[in-house]
């Protein structure tokens, strides 16, 4: 539907590369962007203290390091002078001073490296977590995908670029800070010993930096940016092969895919060679620059030494100070590769953050297009909906109005590409280009065309997108209900039908209905209570679809999880929940997968589900998910298209029993028999709503 072809991806990449190059070449802008990305951590209210504590420790250790260097230069002076003037006592004093320096320096340098590493890791952790949070808020990952111009390879930016950005930033900024301190500490010493050396050094370093920046800076930044981007493109091509292995094998597309990967590799290597060539030129220039000054201190001070104005040790101390200051002033020249690497990473992260921020503001101003609100009665109300594709190329529906009350169900039919899924996207809030109003309950559940099988156990496939906290809440509610004497082991149980006309005709499709114990007095079973508890937990997070992004917080609130603040389900905690497991086993029976448990090795089995289950089995697992969540409104987008008619009928029978209100999209028009209404595309963005019985009778004519 919205897949970017490899060719498109290459074209998009190359166009974007030019934009990126132009931006990356502007050093001042890169500096501003670097500061913008870096300051996120330092401005974060909960992290500010930790960030500044690390920075303070780095500054304190740097000052001690510089003091140590200064001390070394004086001891060296004393030792050289004692040797040249044959003063044995002075020599031994200097030796003991050196021993003391080594004793202090060894732990100090180790501590300095340790603090630098801690700063890097802490910063990386926060920035990656921040990126993940923003990436998963307001379906940003989805919006970035449907807009191929938005950004390339966000995953590589979040993982690799953040890691490299924080590591290089700490390395460069700590080094630059130490170099500045070195300059301050040694400048007066050099000025006192050899003022002409100090003046020469400043002029030499400024000229050298200018030549390096103008000759190599921009070019290296561009090449580094291209290398990062092309490497990400290569990895993306290989990941796509892994994800679509079976389809490619069926098409026998091995050659085509390997050609594409090889072509991308060739682009990476060509760019790397270009970079290597320019790094070699840079290295040549750096060597000429550094070695030209190697004799300078001795040459300039020799006259004064032979005249007896200064001692031998003064020459070596001046040389030491000269080298330290020269190293500091020529830092940009000698570290241009690292700086260009950092500039490219900064550019990529800044672009991702900008795209995510744009997505956030789009989401916030979504009220400009189709307006969405919570429905009061738990049904779905669409008023005067005009919907277009995200960039307005097609109008998919014009002035559509319909009302679906709890207890009613709708089948959407029409030719391929007429906009059936798009209407569902609009109800879900994924698309909002157009006008009109949609009111729907927050408690909705969508089964898309292609079932998503997350990483994890079979239990997690069935409860997705439940977070750990939600599962625990459901367990607590179910356990409380069990204390009241309810028995859940019999399988799925119904949601209370909240509207007139809700059908309850069971079909005995493979599971026991013993769990259905609506006792006529409206008393709910334990599992229904569990579903209610899940919904309550979900509603706290906004909706089902918003639940996963809030999972870490909810897990923290519930006092579960691994304590690192990073979300994630816990199969072990879910495994210790016999109530839930009994419900899930019943659900597998209900969706005609009774043998799956034995086949895969139980609910704790963790397999590559998308590959070991057939599409029809995946669709049945998705329907089990829906029955587990018991939403107020369910949406099924060709969610049973891979099933045989008998199984499909059984599943729809289950849906009628357990789901108060559902909307299906299908090409099999006979499914109208399981719905109360039919919405049919009649062409040119016009839709016609009719009674399902009426629709079926026209079919039979």
Q: Which residues bind ligand ATP (CB under 6 A)?
A: 1-2, 146, 389-390, 393-394, 396, 416-422
Q: How far is the CB of 385 from ligand ATP (least distance, A)?
A: 13
Q: How far is the CB of 218 from ligand ATP (least distance, A)?
A: 36
**Measured between alpha carbons, how far is 273 from 276 in angstroms, rounded to an integer?**
5
Q: How far is the CB of 155 from ligand ATP (least distance, A)?
A: 19
DSSP-derived secondary structure for 265-298: HHHHHHHHHHHHHHHHHHHHHHHHHHHTTTTHHH
Measured at the CA of 455, the angle between CA 453 and CA 456, to 5 degrees, comes to 105
Q: How far is the CB of 688 from ligand ATP (least distance, A)?
A: 15
**Locate tokens 């994924």: which residue?**
430
431 or 674: CB nearest ligand ATP = 431
Return the structure tokens found at 414: 């029409």
CA trace torsion 438, 441, 442, 448 (10° rounding): -70
Q: How far is the CB of 147 from ligand ATP (least distance, A)?
A: 8
148 or 586: CB nearest ligand ATP = 148
Q: How far is the CB of 390 from ligand ATP (least distance, A)?
A: 5
For β-strands 661-665 and 409-413, DSSP reports them as parallel
Our measurement of the distance from residue 162's CA atom to the centroid of its chain's CA atoms, rounded to an integer in Å, reads 11
Is residue 639 within 8 A of residue 664, CB to CB? The reply is yes
Q: How far is the CB of 148 from ligand ATP (least distance, A)?
A: 9
393 or 483: CB nearest ligand ATP = 393
Element (H, E) at 334: helix 331-334
Is residue 62 within 8 A of residue 174, CB to CB? The reply is yes
**Locate tokens 């070991």: which residue?**
612
329 or 412: CB nearest ligand ATP = 412
Q: How far is the CB of 219 from ligand ATP (least distance, A)?
A: 37
Is residue 396 within 8 A of residue 388, CB to CB? The reply is yes
391 or 611: CB nearest ligand ATP = 391
Contacts by 394-397 with C-beta closer than 8 Å and gap 24+? 394/419, 395/434, 395/685, 396/422, 396/423, 396/685, 397/422, 397/423, 397/685, 397/686, 397/687
163 or 398: CB nearest ligand ATP = 398
Q: How far is the CB of 4 from ligand ATP (least distance, A)?
A: 10
Sequence-separated (6 or more) residues with CB below 8 Å from residue 135: 141, 154, 158, 356
139 or 524: CB nearest ligand ATP = 139
416 or 700: CB nearest ligand ATP = 416
Is residue 134 within 8 A of residue 115, CB to CB? The reply is no
82 or 422: CB nearest ligand ATP = 422
Q: How far is the CB of 11 from ligand ATP (least distance, A)?
A: 17
**Measured between alpha carbons, how far is 492 from 495 in angstroms, rounded to an integer?**
10
228 or 427: CB nearest ligand ATP = 427
**Measured between alpha carbons, how far is 600 from 612 in angstroms, rounded to an integer?**
9
**Measured between alpha carbons, how far is 128 from 51 in angstroms, rounded to an integer?**
15
Is residue 462 within 8 A of residue 429, CB to CB? The reply is no
**Locate tokens 């709890």: which residue?**
406
Q: Give the number of residues written for the chain.
A: 701
**Locate tokens 């004692």: which residue?**
82
């Amino acid at each position: 539907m919205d897949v970017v072809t490899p060719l498109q991806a290459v074209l998009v990449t190359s166009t974007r590369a030019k934009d990126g190059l132009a931006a990356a070449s502007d050093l001042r802008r890169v500096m501003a962007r670097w500061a913008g990305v870096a300051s996120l951590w330092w401005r974060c209210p909960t992290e500010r203290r930790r960030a500044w504590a690390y920075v303070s420790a780095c500054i304190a250790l740097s000052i001690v390091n510089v003091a140590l260097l200064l001390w070394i230069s004086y001891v060296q002076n004393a030792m050289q002078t004692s040797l040249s003037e044959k003063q044995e006592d002075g020599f031994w004093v200097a030796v003991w001073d050196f021993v003391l320096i080594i004793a202090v320096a060894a732990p100090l340098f180790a501590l300095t490296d340790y603090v630098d590493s801690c700063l890097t890791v802490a910063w990386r952790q926060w920035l990656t977590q921040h990126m993940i949070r923003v990436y998963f808020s307001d379906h940003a990952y989805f919006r970035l995908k449907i807009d191929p111009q938005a950004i390339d390879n966000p995953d590589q930016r979040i993982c690799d670029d953040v890691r490299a950005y924080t590591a290089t930033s700490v390395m460069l900024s700590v080094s630059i800070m130490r170099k500045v301190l070195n300059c301050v500490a040694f400048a007066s010493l050099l000025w006192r010993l050899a003022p002409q050396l100090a003046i020469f050094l400043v002029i030499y370093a400024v000229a050298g930096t200018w030549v390096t920046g103008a000759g190599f800076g921009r070019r290296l930044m561009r090449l580094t940016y291209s290398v990062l981007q092309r490497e990400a493109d290569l990895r993306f091509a290989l990941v796509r092969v892994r994800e679509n292995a079976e389809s490619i094998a069926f098409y026998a597309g091995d050659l085509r895919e390997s050609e594409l990967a090889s072509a991308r590799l060739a682009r990476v290597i060509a760019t790397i060679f270009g970079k290597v060539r320019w790094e070699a030129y840079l290295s040549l220039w750096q060597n000429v620059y550094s070695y030209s000054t190697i004799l300078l201190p001795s040459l300039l001070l020799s006259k004064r030494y032979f005249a007896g104005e200064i001692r031998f040790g003064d020459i070596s101390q001046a040389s030491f100070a000269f080298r330290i200051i020269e190293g500091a002033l020529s830092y940009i020249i000698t570290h241009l590769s690292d700086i260009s690497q950092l500039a490219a990473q900064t550019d990529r992260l800044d672009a991702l953050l900008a795209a995510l921020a744009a997505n956030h503001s789009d989401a916030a101003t979504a009220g400009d297009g189709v307006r969405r609100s919570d429905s009061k009665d738990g049904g779905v109300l669409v008023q005067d909906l005009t919907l277009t594709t995200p960039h307005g190329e097609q109008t998919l529906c014009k002035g559509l109005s319909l009302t679906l009350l709890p207890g009613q169900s709708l089948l959407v039919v029409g030719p391929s590409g007429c906009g059936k899924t798009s209407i569902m996207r609009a109800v879900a809030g994924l698309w909002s280009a157009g006008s009109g109003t949609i009111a729907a309950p927050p408690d909705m559940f969508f089964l898309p065309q292609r079932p998503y099988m997350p990483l994890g156990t079979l239990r997690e496939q069935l409860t997705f997108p439940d977070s750990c906290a939600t599962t625990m809440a459901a367990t607590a509610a179910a356990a409380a209900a069990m204390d009241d004497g309810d028995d859940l082991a019999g399988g799925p149980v119904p949601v209370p039908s909240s509207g007139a006309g809700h059908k309850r005709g069971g079909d005995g499709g493979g599971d026991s209905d013993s769990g259905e114990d609506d006792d006529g007095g409206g008393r709910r079973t334990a599992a229904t209570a569990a579903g209610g508890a899940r919904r309550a937990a979900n509603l706290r997070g906004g909706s089902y679809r918003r639940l996963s992004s809030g999972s870490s917080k909810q897990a923290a609130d519930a006092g579960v999880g691994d304590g690192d603040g990073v979300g994630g389900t816990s199969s072990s905690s879910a495994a210790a929940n016999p109530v839930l497991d009994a419900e899930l086993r019943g659900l597998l029976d209900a969706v005609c997968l009774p043998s799956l448990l034995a086949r895969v090795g139980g609910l704790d089995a963790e397999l590559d589900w998308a590959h070991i289950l057939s599409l029809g089995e995946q669709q049945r697992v998705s329907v089990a998910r829906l029955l587990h969540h018991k939403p107020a409104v369910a949406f099924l987008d060709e969610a049973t298209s891979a099933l045989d008619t008998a199984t499909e009928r059984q599943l729809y029978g289950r849906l009628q029993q357990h789901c108060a209100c559902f909307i299906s999209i299908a090409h099999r028009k006979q499914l109208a028999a399981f719905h109360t209404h039919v919405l049919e595309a009649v062409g040119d963005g016009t839709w016609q709503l009719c009674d399902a019985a009426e629709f079926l009778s026209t079919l039979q004519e």
